[in-house]
Amino acid sequence: MKRLIGVALTLGLLYGCGGGGYVPYAPHALSDAAVSSLVNEASSTNGVPPGLIRAVLMAESAGDPSAISLAGAQGLMQLMPGTAARCGIDPFDPDQNVRCGTSYLRGLLDRYHGNVTLAVAAYNAGPGAVDRYHGVPPYAETRAYVTRVISAYESY
């Protein structure tokens, strides 16, 4: 039983912060039109490319606003409770979550001088880990996440 739980936890870590990673057409996923509306609004407010926002959102929650990770991240952009509290939002409100997550992503892009790969790595592993390793941390989950997000971003 311990082995089964260990395998499940490892897979959860390898396949994204949303607990199960990117799962197209998740049971509670918003429609493509609803996601596009949220993404476009947050993009115009924060100056973050809509394709990047969508790639992060889909990697994090597969468009499910009720998603909760094993680490406690919540909502569409999988905000940690402290991040949501700093934004003063309800993490399960799709509009508020995407606005806060995009604002956080904008801050990471600024911190890493527009380097999308480092900003995405920091979104996943935290800026402390990116700074400590002077690049993408050597965590399998983060490396897989960065590859998945950048690939999706390039396809949007």
Q: Find the catalytic residue in 41, 60, 141, 154.
A: 60
Return d(Cα 152, Cα 156) in angstroms, integer: 6
Distance CA(66)–CA(94), nearest Å, equals 9
Q: What is the DSSP string of the chain?
A: -HHHHHHHHHHHHHT-TTSS---TT-TTPPPHHHHHHHHHHHHHHHT--HHHHHHHHHHHHTT-TT-B-TT--BTTTTB-HHHHHHHT--TTSHHHHHHHHHHHHHHHHHHTTT-HHHHHHHHHH-HHHHHHHTSS-S-HHHHHHHHHHHHHHHH-
Residues counted in the chain? 156
Residue 41 falls in the annotated catalytic set: no
Residues with a catalytic annotation lie at 60
